């Protein structure tokens, strides 16, 4: 059946996915920890020891996290834009239903050293082509000093 123009099913499914993750985090809270939803990004866990900010991206159909994925670049841009606040988090996480193929620059991202991550992002920025959004986002991301950018490579 064809979807109507005002069908919000996909948006609501993304919301449900996000709130399931919120409930999971609430059940795992320790003393003196708090969860914030949509106040400091999608989900933020404030903790005396390990504060975490998580951006949640849900895709109903199969989706790959590619080098130029809007999910990644929008999240990175938001973290950089709000650097002074985001730097207070121990971890910045992109939680996605996307697959990460072995050919993606983000494959095993969490195992890479921060300087290697920065080099990978710079290499992506040197590639030609791509959508207008990606080019705009890349320019904004690399306006920040390298010292700040390396801090954000903890993604």
CATH at 122: 3.40.1350
Residue 4 lies in a domain: no
Distance CA 148, CA 144 (A): 7
- From first to last of the 155 residues of the chain, give the pLDDT tens digit: 676 776 666 667 788 889 999 999 999 999 999 999 999 889 999 999 889 999 999 888 898 998 888 888 888 888 888 888 888 898 889 998 899 999 999 999 888 888 888 888 878 877 766 555 566 666 666 666 665 555 544 43
Residue 4 is given by DSSP the state P
Residue 107 lies in a domain: yes
Residue 24 lies in a domain: yes
Helices (H), 2-145: 9-27, 70-81, 83-86, 114-126, 132-141
The pLDDT of residue 52 is 92
Residue 3 lies in a domain: no
The pLDDT of residue 154 is 40
Distance CA 119, CA 103 (A): 16
The pLDDT of residue 140 is 66
* Residue length of the chain: 155
3 state SS of 100: coil
Q: Number of folded domains in the chain?
A: 1
The pLDDT of residue 51 is 93
Best CA proximity match to 121, nearest among 64, 77, 59, 57: 77
The pLDDT of residue 132 is 59
Distance CA 118, CA 116 (A): 5
Residue 1 lies in a domain: no
Domain that holds residue 45: 9-152
- 99, 65 in Cβ contact below 8 A? yes
């Amino acid at each position: 059946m064809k979807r109507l123009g005002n069908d919000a099913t996909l948006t609501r499914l993304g919301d449900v996915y996000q709130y399931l993750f919120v409930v999971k985090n609430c059940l795992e809270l320790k003393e003196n920890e708090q969860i914030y939803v949509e106040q400091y990004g999608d989900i933020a866990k404030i903790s005396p020891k390990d504060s975490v900010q998580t951006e949640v991206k849900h895709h109903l159909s199969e989706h790959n996290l590619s080098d130029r994925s809007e999910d990644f670049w929008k999240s990175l841009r938001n973290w950089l834009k709000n650097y002074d606040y985001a730097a207070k988090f121990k971890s910045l996480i992109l939680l996605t239903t996307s697959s990460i193929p072995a050919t993606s620059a983000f494959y095993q991202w969490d195992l890479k050293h921060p300087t290697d991550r920065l080099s990978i992002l710079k290499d992506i920025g040197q590639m030609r082509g791509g959508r207008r959004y990606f080019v705009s986002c890349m320019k904004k991301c690399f306006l920040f000093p390298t010292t700040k950018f390396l801090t954000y490579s903890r993604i």
